[in-house]
Structure 1
Amino acid sequence: MNPLNSIKGVWILGILLAFILAVAVNLAAGASWLNFQMLEFWRWTHIIAGITWIGLLYYFNFVQMPAVAAAGADSGGPGPAAINQYVAPRALLWFRWAAVVTWVSGAIYLSMIQQFANAFSLGFAGGFDASYGLPMGIGVWLGTIMLINVWVLIWPNQKKVLGLVEASDEAKAKAKKIATMASRTNVVLSIPMLMFMVAARHGLVF
């Protein structure tokens, strides 16, 4: 059976390949063949989930929304029904739960390295920490706002737009505007969020 024929197979193959390469690199560096810790599990879970979340956020804003608008404006075309019926609900499923996994795994990671309070207090917990706590804090608060936007504004309103819940045409039009503005706000917030989270590991923003 070809693992590339299923999403589950792709995930398993990717994880297996990462494990094999990690063992090979550890042996080449003269370390233990397996130097795995739970801290690393949560860090990589956070990174992979975050890539999935932000990647889908960019897909919605840079690909799907313009495509749906173009399909709707094309009087002789197939229309946006296929995207709204088959693509959007599945993409939104991955999108909203990737957001949750990103936030939760990040919170667990920060707790394990004893930086949770430091980050969420913007570096003021136990003294001002501008080298890690402040940039990481900016990143985690922006990410928290984005998570709230996903579950409070984007998903409830998208359910109305896609017809997953009953709504009048007027309510759908209003919901579409709210979901679009919240999604585009998240795109704006994602840029400084990523910049400051990376900066926290390297000590400098630029």
Structure 2
Amino acid sequence: MIAGIAWIGTSFYFVALDFSLRKEPGMPPGVGGEAWEVHGGGFYHVRKYLTAPETLPKDLIWFKWEAYLTWVTGFLLLVVLYYLQADSYLIDPNVMPLTQWQAIGISVASLVLGWVLYTALCKSPVGRSTGLLAACLFAMLLAFAYGYTHLFSGRGAFIHIGALIGTIMAANVFMVIIPNQRKITAALLKGEKPDPRLGAIGKQRSLHNTYLTLPVLAMMVSNHFPMITDNAHAWVLAGLIILAGGLARHFLVRTEVGDRHADLAWTIPLICTALAFGLIITQPSKLVLFQGEVSDAEALSIVQTRCAACHAEHPTDATIKVAPKGVHLETLDQLKRYAAQIEVQAVQNKAMPLANRTGMLDEERAKLGTWIARQ
């Protein structure tokens, strides 16, 4: 998250800067525009060369490690949490009964495939049209989201949508933007004229990155929201997040550079429509309650059998060292205290038990719902 903040911050800044550049008379050859900025008690005068200046300064700042560290630390977290504990977080037998190595193999292969398809689209004739390329990229991400939600657990699917987007963004920096910049620099040092296409390609990929930042942030924290990850239409929700996030980023970018809000008004109803559909889809379904009496003892027995493996003072689940969120479900008083949370997580969303490792039955969920409703 720390590396991501640094990366996204620089991405936001440079895209806003790029759009705010103004062409003024009397500029040096090769300068595409300049901007005056005020911050931190001083003024900054920034110029952008479309290829490169005639001479390079001794101290040239490269912005790359923010992107690299975000991806590396993110992938390490993916390994530690979702690969090493695949049975808990990545695999859901009710979705697809995968083995640990099958799930890991699909994960790695999908990230590589996503980058290959994305870069092929950018290099194809489709890449010459910004609108068509955006539509194709959206369709590609939606297809991956559909595939992930039909292969992995809800949490595993959403984190992989984020991992795919993050991989595309980091690979853009590592494999396109920085190499192209190095080629421009090398040509300049040799006294040759740099290829202007290299800068144009780098700008295209950088622009893609900034439009993907808000959706990838949402995916990074998605495992805290089972109403999204464990939804029957999770892949549709992923598409709505990508669409609304991209449109919101467009509104912010163009606002930052002084465009009139009247010219950006078309984004507002689209964003609101996407959010409205999201609200509709995530509405809790009507509870199916148990038709009959459920005693305190029976409700407690269900929770002790299905939930207390993790939610106990001394968890028996090998992957859990401390009860999540400090919630203990070993006594009737504790059951009553956390009844509202149990109703949301185990009865409504069915997000718990995690990956349903203890095999909670729908009838047991219905009985808990009935017991809670009558408290």
TM-score > 0.5 by shorter chain: yes
Which residue of the other structure, out of 156, 166, 175, is the alignment partner of 2:187?
Answer: 166
| Matching of residue 48 in structure 1 with residue 2 in structure 2 | yes
Query: 2:187 touches 2:193 (CA, 8 Å); kept in 1?
Result: no
Higher share in strand: 2
Runs of 5+ unmatched residues, structure 1: 1-46
Correspondence 1:66 to 2:19: yes
1:115, distance to aligned residue in structure 2 (A)? 4.2
Return 192-201 or 48-57, whichever deviates more: 192-201
Measured in 1, the distance between the counterparts of 2:7 and 2:222 equals 20
1:157 and 2:180 aligned: yes
Letter in 2 for 1:56: T
What is the root-mean-square deviation of aligned Cα atoms in Å? 3.1
1:169 Cα deviation from its structure 2 partner: 4.2
**Any residues of structure 2 matched to 1:1-206 within 5 Å, and which?**
47-63=1-17, 65-67=18-20, 69-70=21-22, 73-76=23-26, 83=47, 89-90=60-61, 93=62, 95-115=63-83, 118=90, 120=107, 122=148, 128-130=152-154, 132-161=155-184, 164-166=185-187, 169=193, 171=195, 173-203=196-226, 204=228
Aligned in 2, Cα 1:192/1:170: closer, same or farther, shift over 3 Å? same
Ranked by relative contact order (alpha carbons within 8 Å, sequence separation 6 or more), the top structure is 1
Distance 1:137 1:156, change over 3 A: same
Cα shift at 1:61: 0.7
Q: Larger C-alpha radius of gyration, 1 or 2?
A: 2
Q: Percent identity?
A: 30
Distance 1:139 1:188 in 2: 14
Task: Name the TM-score, length of structure 2 as normaliser.
Answer: 0.34
Q: Could you say if the C-alpha distance between residues 170 and 177 of structure 1 is closer, same or farther in structure 2, counting changes exceeding 3 Å?
A: same
Pick the structure with more helix per residue: 1
Name the SS for the 1:55 alignment partner: helix
Letter in 1 for 2:220: M
Once the two structures are superposed, residues 146-201 of structure 1 have per-residue CA deviations (whole angstroms, 9 ceiling, x without a partner) of 1110011111223345xx22065461x21121011110111122222112222223
**Counterpart Cα distance in 2 of 1:110 and 1:55:** 23
User: Counterpart amino acid of 2:25?
Assistant: S
Matched residue count? 146
